[in-house]
Amino acid sequence: MKVAVVGIGIIPFGENWKHGIRDMLADVQIAALEDAKMSEKDISQIYTGSMCSGEFTGQEHLGAMAAENLNINVPSARIEAACASGGTAIRAGLQAIESGNADIVMVNGVEKMTDISTEAVTSGLMGAGDEEWEEFHGFTFPSLYSLMARAHMNEFGTTSKQLASVSVKSHKHGSLSPYAQYKNEITVEQVLNSTMIADPLTLLDCSPITDGAASAILTKPELAKKYSDTPVYITGSSSATDTLALHARESLSRTKSASIAAENAYKQAGISVNDVNLFEVHDCFSIAELMAMESLQIVKQGASGAYAEAGNTYFDSKTPINTSGGLKAAGHPVGATGIKQLYEVVTQLRNEADKRQVPKAEVALTHNVGGSGATTVVHILRR
Amino acid sequence: MKVAVVGIGIIPFGENWKHGIRDMLADVQIAALEDAKMSEKDISQIYTGSMCSGEFTGQEHLGAMAAENLNINVPSARIEAACASGGTAIRAGLQAIESGNADIVMVNGVEKMTDISTEAVTSGLMGAGDEEWEEFHGFTFPSLYSLMARAHMNEFGTTSKQLASVSVKSHKHGSLSPYAQYKNEITVEQVLNSTMIADPLTLLDCSPITDGAASAILTKPELAKKYSDTPVYITGSSSATDTLALHARESLSRTKSASIAAENAYKQAGISVNDVNLFEVHDCFSIAELMAMESLQIVKQGASGAYAEAGNTYFDSKTPINTSGGLKAAGHPVGATGIKQLYEVVTQLRNEADKRQVPKAEVALTHNVGGSGATTVVHILRR
């Protein structure tokens, strides 16, 4: 094991019009400290994942803000890897502890997305892709993922109904998740009949625009029991990168960075996919969850659609995926998503997930993607 | 010692209209690899400091870009701590090596600032301050630093002529620095008579808007001689934070984060300020260099103005400061500045600084500030 997670904090995701980025960040920081029954004076370093705080709120320099929120003067930096900023912040915190420079590190994720126009958000988010080769020519993320969906359909016979089944399951989980942005259940028909965004992806194949934040406290394994009766241990942590632009990749229907990161993380943890009891994966679009299942080796390449449609990924079935509601129903405050994934699996591994609790949750995996797959971060955790 | 610097790369700073952010980044990455006589396959992780790439160029996700530029798939993230992003990226790289997860790490800094309007740049840069308490009310960085200058004048009798002497020295050094944006020498009279920007700071008290990038390669000390005949060792690395907003600080004329970071860095390196042969400090405004001299204990609080005016900070005098030309004359591509400081002191410690070479350069210090002092990073290096 590498480090222990001894505190977690989150706020309800959604359109938090009453809370600015500073408030959201402070709220989750305090929640994590309270969860760990810890003083802010115990924190040695802070890493905060955020993708577009400058573009969306005018506020860069969230590192200093995160330290100021706790009235401490410790080293504190922002980490950005597009929508994988949260997962990447966890890795920075983990390395700070492993380096011997810090005993206790706070990692945060935050994004305030609803204070500006949808057009401005869409443009900002395209900064996760390739500005010269994609954004300049009119690409948006729905259109990039629609190309992947179409390639997957062509290559493996994946259907729109199978894609829709992912969103249906996410909303079911969202209905059981106290912090989810969307708690309404939906049907396959509703997904198929919702507004077409980028063929074959409809509105309900797409994750929403969300305000949100989450926080966690990491420490050395040997200190874990001091702060938590139910510590969770990170046993694998890996990240890999690929070209920013989708067209430059080896394949449209496979995510190379995710395959590399998963392989390395399994190796570090000394386990295989069969040992994992639940997964939080980066379902920015329904096709992304199917591709994640293949990258993580949950199913063979091309088999994800049928597997999902058969109901194998509900919280109480074979391989639970996205019990939080995923990006689709819990919401996708981009820089916070990686920390939310950590929040959800720690909650599950503590056996505190109430109505969405996965039975016998011993080992979990998180999969956090930046852009169309230019960055993937995979973590493996066990209780 | 913590890590060794075995490769450095830079491009000339200025208005690089012919080079986009990707080109500038790739150029310095390749230069650093060539300097270390190393293959890109040797790199285990990459950290890239950039403050406003999203706001200034539309391109976030520079981590993936930096890996793509080298055609490798390693973990690679962007680090942001406003104008201290470069120094903070060095710290992330250092901790990656100290954690045992990487033998060789590339650290980059890059900022492309001249493709958008000066107004948009000024607004973007205010993201380093406090958006709610400062930018919203009309503050810009010249106005924030003018308050510090006025406080320093009131408290210690610092004069406009003393401030001007800092810029005069910077331009002298710039005239000797091959990569400096401004190579023209200037006089105290020219500084005093240039356009008033924010009383008492005139145009020539202020650092410019600059395109630029720099890169360095770090490795474990035990591997240093494999890649460099003249490795430079980082013996102290420290960072501290303070409130984002200037008004919330304990003092306008002292930088608490810099004092803490310097104290810790000296302790780590086991030296005092008297052992340091040259300094690269964050002179975003002339007053900032004077305050840095006090934070770093080069002179007593309040004594910096007279000390600078007496000519003690030229490359061939008592305590050389900013032989690169500093932010004033070398230019200030915000996210790149911290790596440029590393480039300059490594060049000096290798005895390769030609006409601006500091005699007997054995130990050097870099001081990289974010915002009006909400983050300060200090590194100590020796050959």
Residues of chain A contacting B92 with CB distance shorter than 8 Å? 77, 92, 95
What confidence score (pLDDT) does residue B20 get?
96
Residue with tokens 């650092």: B207
**Residue B215, pLDDT score:** 98
Q: Is the pLDDT of residue B1 over 90?
A: no
Share of chain B above pLDDT 70, in %: 100
Average pLDDT (B53-69) is 97
The residues, ordered by sequence, that sit 6+ positions from B314 with a Cβ below 8 Å of its Cβ are B169, B172, B173, B320
B212-259 pLDDT tens trace = 999 999 999 999 999 999 999 999 999 999 999 999 999 999 999 999
What is the distance between the alpha carbons of residues B170 and B182, in angstroms, rounded to a whole number?
9
Query: What percent of chain B is helix, strand and coil (3-state, nearest 5)?
Result: 45, 20, 35
Q: Does B40 touch chain A (CB under 8 A)?
A: no
- pLDDT value at B17 more than 80: yes
Residue A334 CB contacts under 8 Å (≥ 6 apart), including other chains: A51, A52, A82, A83, A85, A111, A113, A125, A128
Distance from CA of B160 to the nearest CA of A (A): 30
Catalytic, A83? Answer yes
Inter-chain touch A60–B74, beta carbons under 8 Å: no
Residue A289, pLDDT > 80, answer yes
With beta carbons under 8 A apart, name residues in chain A contacting B371: 61, 64
Average predicted confidence (pLDDT) for chain A: 97
Q: Tell me how close the Cα of A215 comes to any Cα of chain B, in angstroms.
A: 18
pLDDT at A129 over 80: yes
Enumerate residues 99 to 128 of chain A having a beta carbon within 8 A of any beta carbon in chain B.
99-101, 123-124, 126-128
Tell whether B60 is within 8 A of chain A (Cβ).
yes
- pLDDT of A287 higher than 80: yes
Out of A22, A129, A374, name the one closest to residue B132 (CB): A22
Q: Do A79 and B81 touch (CB under 8 A)?
A: no
Please check the confidence at residue A207 and state whether its pLDDT lies above 80: yes
B75·A238 Cβ contact <8 A: yes
Question: Taking residues A92-117, what's their average pLDDT?
Answer: 97
Q: What is the pTM of this model?
A: 0.98
**Is B59 within 8 Å of A370 when comparing Cβ atoms?**
no
Residues B166-181 have pLDDT tens digits of 999 999 999 999 999 9
pLDDT computed for residue A274 by the predictor? 98
C-alpha pair distances (Å), B174 with each of A12, B23, B165: 53, 24, 14
Pairing assessment for the beta strands B278-280 and B363-370 based on DSSP bridges: parallel
Q: Which of A152, A282, A332, A367 is catalytic?
A: A332
DSSP type of residue B366: E
Mind telling me the catalytic residues of B?
Answer: 83, 332
Is B95's CB within 8 Å of A101's CB? yes
Q: Is B301 helix (H, G, I), strand (E, B) or coil?
A: coil
Task: Report the residue from A78, A81, A248 with minimal CB separation from B61.
Answer: A81
Q: What is the pLDDT of residue B311?
A: 98
- Summarize the confidence of residues A374-383 as an average pLDDT: 98
Report how far apart, in Å, the C-alpha atoms of B52 and of each of A244, B215, B250 are.
Answer: 18, 18, 28
Residue A194 pLDDT more than 90?
A: yes
Q: What is the mean pLDDT of the segment spanning B5-31?
A: 97
pLDDT of residue B134: 97
Q: Which residue of B lies nearest to A374 if distances are taken between CA atoms?
A: B64
**Interchain contact B268–A (C-beta under 8 A):** no
Predicted pLDDT at B258: 98
> Which of the four pLDDT bands, split at 50, 70 and 90, describes residue A155?
very high
Residue of A nearest to B241 (CA): A73
Q: Are B283 and B166 in contact (CB under 8 A)?
A: yes
Is residue A340 predicted with pLDDT exceeding 80? yes
CA distance A99 to chain B (A): 4
DSSP code of residue A285: B
With a pLDDT cut of 90, the percent of chain B lying above it is 99
Query: What number is the average pLDDT over the span B173-192?
Result: 98
pLDDT over 80 (residue B133): yes
Q: Is A79 on the interface with B (CB under 8 A)?
A: yes
- Closest Cα partner for B67 from A223, A257, A186? A257
pLDDT band at A327 (very low <50, low <70, confident <90, very high): very high
CB-CB contact of A5 with A234 (8 Å):
yes
Which chain A residues are within 8 Å of B126, Cβ to Cβ? 58
Give the burial class of A74: count Cβ atoms within 10 A of its Cβ; 0-12 exposed, 13-18 middle, 19 or more buried. buried
Angstrom distance (rounded) from CA A292 to CA A341: 14
A–B CB contacts, 8 A cutoff, strictly below:
208
pLDDT tens-digit series, residues A73-102? 999 999 999 999 999 999 999 999 999 999
Within 8 A of B243 by CB-CB distance, chain A residues are 64, 68
pLDDT band at A317 (very low <50, low <70, confident <90, very high): very high
A98/B contact by beta carbon, under 8 A: yes
- B371 to chain A, minimum CA–CA distance in Å? 8
Asked if residue B148 has pLDDT above 90, the reply is yes
pLDDT confidence of residue A333: 98
Q: Render A46-109 in DSSP notation, one character per residue.
A: EEEE-SSHHHHHS---HHHHHHHHTT----EEEEEBTBTHHHHHHHHHHHHHHTTS-SEEEEEE
Mean pLDDT across the stretch A296-312? 98
Q: How far is A343 from chain B (nearest CA, A)?
A: 22
Q: Does B238 contact A75 at a Cβ distance shorter than 8 Å? A: yes
Question: Which ipTM value was assigned to this complex?
Answer: 0.98
